[in-house]
Amino acid sequence: MSRVATAIAHPNIALAKYWGKREGEGNVPAVPSLSVTLAGMTTTTTVRFDASLASDELVLGGQKQVGRPLERASALLDTVRAHAKIDARAHVVSHNDFPTASGLASSASGFAALALAACRAASLDWDAARVSQLARASSASAARSLFGGFVALDGGDGALGVASPVVGPEALDVRVLVCVATERAKTTSSTDGMLFTQRESPYYRAWLDEAPRTFARLKSAILEGDVRAAFELAEKSALAMHACAMAAGVIYVSGVTLAALSEVRAMRADGLVTYATMDAGPHLKCLVPTSHADVAKERLARVPGVLRVLETRPGDAARIVETPSDTGRAFDASAEVR
Ligand code: PMV
C-alpha cells in the first residue's frame, strides 16, 4: 500500500463571505458562502506516513513548523489515521507559490491539499465531498477548495457545512486581480477575528440576517451568468463583513487596501466593470470581466503600496499529482480519491 501522496490545491476567494461559526462541533459556518477557486496560485503538499517517525513533522515553504500550525495539521492527520486504522506519524512538506497566512487564503488551499494528500497516502477511498468535510474541520474555507469553479458552502442553522460546485470555471469569463499589499503574515487569524466579532460586534446579528440573502441572490446571478450583478453583490458582502468585524475592533484592511479600493471605484466611474473584495488580510482582490482585465491590472499596479498584481482566473478542483512537478490529474468531484 502506498504511504506517500502529493496533492495540489488552489486558494479560493469568497464572493459571498463566510464570517462567524455556528455553535458546536465541526467548525460549521454560521452563514452560507460562495467562492471561486483561483487558478494561478497553487499549494503543493506531499504527505508521507512513516512508521519510524516519533511525531508528525510539517515543513512549510522550507521552514520546519512547530506550535499552532503543526497542531492543526496533526489534528487533521489524526482523523485520517483513525479512519484508515494506521498509527504511523507523517512527514508533510508544503509549498505555496504566493504569500502565506496573510489573507491570500493560504489556509484554504493548504488544508485542501493536506486533506487530499493525507487521504490518498493513507489509501482512504473517500469522495470529494467527504475529503471536503475533513478539510472543513480545519478551515471552513478549505472545504470549497476541493472543488473547481464556483462553489457553495452551506451554513447557518441546521447546516452541515457541506461544499458543492455551483458552476464550472468556464461559466463566467472573469479574472480576479490580487493586489499584493504585504509579504508578511497577518497578526489576527481568521478564526480569532471571527470569534471576536461574534462576541463584540454590535452588528453581528445584522450580518447573520443579511448574509444568507446576499448568498442566495449571488448564487442566482452566477447561475444566470450575470457578471455585473454577481460582482456588485460580492463587493457588498465583503464590505458588510469588514464593517461588522471593524465594529468589534478587528481590522484587516490597511491604507494600501483602501487606496486600491478607491482605484477600483474610480475605474468604475470611468466605465470599467470593476468591483472589489477582500478577506482577512490587506490584499484587495479586483473582480473584473476578462475584457477589462488588462487595463484594470495596469491601473492597480500603479496604486502606491501595491507590491504587485497577480492575475488569476476561475480554476480547477484540488487534485493528486504523481510528482510535485506534474500539473495534476483532474480530481473529478464525483470520482473517488485513488
Ligand atoms: O476558513 P477560514 O478560517 O480561512 O476563514 C475564511 C474567512 C474569509 O476568508 C474572510 C471568508 C471566506 O468565506 O473565505
Residues 36, 205: Cα–Cα separation, whole Å = 26
Name the closest-CA residue to atom 10, ligand 1. 279
pLDDT of 157: 85
139 CA distance to ligand 1 middle (Å): 8
pLDDT of 323: 55
How many C-beta atoms surround the C-beta of residue 96 within 10 A?
20
Q: Which residues pair with 167 in a beta bridge?
A: 150
Counting from 1 in the atom list of ligand 1, the atom nearest the Cα of 279 is 10
Identity of residue 302: R
Identity of residue 116: L
C-alpha cell read off for 253: 484592511
Counting from 1 in the atom list of ligand 1, the atom nearest the Cα of 191 is 3
By most ligand atoms within 8 Å of CB, the mutation choice from 141, 198, 241 for ligand 1 is 141
11 CA distance to ligand 1 middle (Å): 11
Q: If residue 314 lies in a helix (H) or strand (E), which one and from where to where?
A: strand 308-314
Strands 33-39 and 308-314: antiparallel
pLDDT of 318: 98
pLDDT of 187: 77
DSSP for 255-292, written as a single string: HHHHHHHHHHHHHHHTT---EEE--SSS-EEEEEEGGG
Instruction: List, chain by chain if needed, residues with CB within 6 Å of any ligand 1 atom.
Output: 14, 17-19, 33, 107-108, 139-141, 190-191, 279-280
Residues of the chain predicted below pLDDT 50? 1, 324-338
pLDDT of 2: 57
